[in-house]
Amino acid sequence: MKNRLYLVGLTGSGKTTIAPLVAARLGWPWLDLDAEIVARTGRTIPDLFTEDVAAFRQIEAEALAEVAQREPLLVATGGGAVLRAENRALMHATGTMLALDVAPDVAIERVSGRGAVPPVLGDDPVASLAKLRDERRDYYEEADIVMDANDADPAITARRIIAALAAHGRISAEVAPDAIAVPLPQTPYTITVAWGALTQVADQIAALGLPRRVILITDATVRGMLLDGVTASLTAGGIAVKTIIVPAGEASKSLSHLSDIYDRLIAFQAERGEAIVALGGGVVGDLAGYAAATYLRGVPLIHIPTTLLAQVDSSIGGKTGINHPRAKNAIGAFYQPRAVIIDPAALLSLDDRLYREGWGEIVKYGMALDGDLFAQMEAAGQFLLHPTPQQLATIIARCARIKADIVTRDEREGGPRLLLNYGHTIGHALEAITGYGTLLHGEAVFLGMSVEARIAVALGLLTPADLARQDALAAIFFTAPDLAALDLAAILDATRLDKKARGGRVRWVLSTGIGSATVRDDVPDALVLAVLTEVLG
């Protein structure tokens, strides 16, 4: 599929507002077709249209045909560009035609705010636009994707467009797929990292020999972004889909939401062989995974992680669970998936905060386990905020390999897997103390690494120079909020509920240099409080 996107829709649907937002995320150039026509002719659109409509439509068609030779490119077309069959055919043949559907009153309100209501709409522009919408409805419905464009925030519509493109496999990239084996003796599986993998889920289910019905669990945010495309792909592949939606956010990892999932599974008469598909970030993966581990004493689980944090970490290794009000992930089970399917293109639709927090887990890998990865991130610097498709896929696959290797050697966290908890002792305590909502998990990990690295310096395990390197890399992605009001003693108490604790002693994962870490259980409380005061106070 060629990397060309054509936005079509009525005046006021937001084409020229949304186009640069989408183009910036994709890294593509964009143009306004009407502006291109003005530049070519030296005349305004109203003048051309009033003088000779047929001649204007011919100029428009010729301009569209010429710009369609460029790639990549995003084109915001004029409202009537869909009227000609050859224009529609050209857009379908050379890229993706996406229709922005907007209510006429919303459209007129938008263009009125810009003082740009076209005179051709007459004295009752809402009625005139409604008539145009009805006349053009069939043309807009020919689009490859139809998107509701009534949201007041164009940035949200832009993210939804990119999510739809990803879910329909319409963002191509020269990135070779990667298959990473997790050769556990009882439950081996493969992690697939592939640009466009969201369209290949039905094939993977068939290859696993699973029944051709799945229960897909996702959250309210992903529902509005990726669900329709993934469901359409599954259905086209002969897979029936039942869907369960949970609220977005860490609060969904609770007994009450788990109980709701059980109710729905029973209502669907879900059978033991039918897979639960977790489509979402770490919250969805943990919650759906625990449901899969416990419903009918275990049903197949497939992870489709849609956040950076879930793609590099939480979807891999079989940790599932829910939170207790006093402790993160205190209730759960080790339960390995049958497959993990990772599509880096899905990340292009994330809001900036969700994207940045995922790097907390990646910096963790570099600091605790992989000095070369850390050095590569240092060298890339700010470019990591907008990586190329190849860079992104490579980093995700590298992290997946690190975790797959450790999980294979230590499935149930009795040895080297403990090192994956660098930054998590304090991070989990902060999440619990702040009520599972103030901090995203990756943000809490960034803060945890800051505290735990300073503890390591105080104990003579880590050099101040390496601490400074960690701080500098973390600062690219995260700026700590004001947490001075937190009860530091309560944070210390919360660390004692950490899952790694043994005999009442907290086992701290502490960095011993870039790419290495150790576990210590002799960290004095007074030192922890002093460092918490330094970092948070």
Looking at the annotation, which residues are catalytic?
297, 319, 361, 403, 413, 417, 421, 424, 428, 441
Using only C-alpha atoms, the chain has a radius of gyration, in whole angstroms, of: 26
Q: What gap in Å lies between CA 237 and CA 120, rounded to an integer?
A: 46
Q: What gap in Å lies between CA 155 and CA 159, rounded to an integer?
A: 6
Q: What gap in Å lies between CA 31 and CA 64, rounded to an integer?
A: 11
At position 418, the amino acid (one-letter code) is L
Contacts 24+ apart (CB under 8 A), 151-159: 154/14, 154/17, 154/18, 154/21, 155/21, 157/14, 157/18, 157/100, 158/18, 158/21, 158/22, 158/25, 159/25, 159/225, 159/349, 159/350, 159/351
Task: For residue 162, give both structure tokens.
Answer: 């990119």
Q: What gap in Å lies between CA 262 and CA 529, rounded to an integer?
A: 42
Tally DSSP H helices, then E strands, for the chain: 22, 16
Q: What is the DSSP letter of 342?
A: E
Q: Are 299 and 270 in contact (CB under 8 A)?
A: yes
Q: What gap in Å lies between CA 23 and CA 312, rounded to an integer?
A: 26
Q: What gap in Å lies between CA 46 and CA 246, rounded to an integer?
A: 49
Task: For residue 21, give both structure tokens.
Answer: 């937002």
Q: Are 216 and 242 in contact (CB under 8 A)?
A: yes
Q: Are 215 and 270 in contact (CB under 8 A)?
A: yes
Q: What gap in Å lies between CA 422 and CA 152, rounded to an integer?
A: 41
H/E stretch holding 328: strand 327-334
Q: Which residues contact 278 (CB under 8 A, 6 or more apart)?
A: 217, 218, 284, 285, 287, 288, 289, 292, 301, 302, 303, 304, 305, 315
At position 8, the amino acid (one-letter code) is V
Distances (CA, A) of 489 to 274, 429, 462, 494, 528: 47, 11, 25, 9, 10
Beta-strand ranges (E) seen in 21-135 are 30-32, 73-76, 96-101
H/E stretch holding 58: helix 53-67
